[in-house]
């Protein structure tokens, strides 16, 4: 499958290399290819991950993944271009974190809406699936390295076929317990859980944790 990962931070790097590892063709989107290449030699060391503009990466892809910070996600997706997202599965792993008052962050949208819904509304022809936002990038990419993989990933979205595609990709990463919570408005629950995650992080004293829904 052709995957376009938007974002060159820790999440974008880890997921793009993991997608390549499990056999996909990957293009990574950034705002300015020359600037990113100069700032960060990592991409020169990973030529299998084609570094392109956001628009080029999205145009290339069958499945687009938003790995940008929540506060720039919609801006970035506009750079990718609504036309390049139309009809495509758009995996949203972002969180609406607001660090302006320090740690723990607050959420800039919650309860009455969610970032997942904002993205779906802004790009109505994209088939948005929210997932992976409840763990750090290490756990996202290799869930079996934590507790043998015996923990839970959530997803939600309005398009059943898109959720099937994403479920398949998650399974390739090693996810086994995948719970479909329903339509994209379920992103409110998945994002508000972050308020607990950011408080578990200091209690656990590292970020490689997740919850298992025991039921």
Q: How far is the CB of 126 from a second copy (least distance, A)?
A: 22
For the residues of 42-92, what is the DSSP string, one character each? TTTT-TTEEEEEHHHHHHH-SEEEE-S-GGGHHHHHHHH-HHHHTTSEEEE
Please identify, using beta-carbon distances, which residue of 55 and 181 lies nearer to a second copy. 181
Binding site residues, a second copy, CB under 8 A: 104, 106-107, 110-112, 146-147, 150-152, 154, 179-182, 186, 188-190, 192-193, 195-200, 202-204, 206, 208-215
Coil, strand or helix at 110: coil
Q: How far is the CB of 212 from a second copy (least distance, A)?
A: 5
Instruction: Give the H or E element holding residue 98.
Output: strand 97-98
From first CA to last CA, the distance across the chain in angstroms is 34
Q: How far is the CB of 200 from a second copy (least distance, A)?
A: 6
Please identify, using beta-carbon distances, which residue of 35 and 204 lies nearer to a second copy. 204
Question: What residues have CB less than 8 Å from 214, skipping those under 6 apart?
Answer: none
Please identify, using beta-carbon distances, which residue of 34 and 160 lies nearer to a second copy. 160
Please identify, using beta-carbon distances, which residue of 82 and 192 lies nearer to a second copy. 192
Q: How far is the CB of 199 from a second copy (least distance, A)?
A: 4
């Amino acid at each position: 499958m052709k995957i376009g990962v938007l974002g060159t931070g820790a999440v974008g790097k880890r997921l793009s290399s993991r997608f390549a590892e499990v056999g996909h063709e990957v293009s990574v989107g950034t705002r300015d290819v020359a600037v990113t290449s100069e700032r960060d030699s990592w991409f020169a060391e990973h030529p299998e991950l084609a570094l392109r503009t956001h628009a080029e990466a999205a145009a290339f892809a069958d499945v687009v993944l938003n790995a940008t910070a929540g506060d720039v996600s919609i801006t970035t997706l506009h750079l990718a271009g609504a036309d390049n997202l139309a009809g495509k599965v758009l995996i949203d792993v972002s969180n609406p974190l607001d660090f302006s008052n320090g740690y723990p962050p607050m959420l800039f949208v919650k309860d009455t809406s969610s970032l997942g819904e904002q993205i779906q509304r802004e790009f109505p022809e994209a088939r948005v699936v929210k997932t992976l936002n409840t763990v750090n990038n290490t756990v996202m990419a290799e869930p079996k390295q934590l507790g043998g993989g015996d923990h839970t990933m959530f997803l939600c979205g309005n398009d059943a076929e898109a959720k099937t595609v994403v479920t398949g990709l998650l399974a390739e990463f090693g996810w086994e317990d995948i719970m479909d919570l329903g339509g994209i408005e379920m992103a409110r629950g998945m994002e508000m859980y972050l308020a607990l995650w950011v408080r578990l992080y200091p209690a656990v004293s590292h970020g490689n944790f997740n919850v298992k829904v025991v039921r």
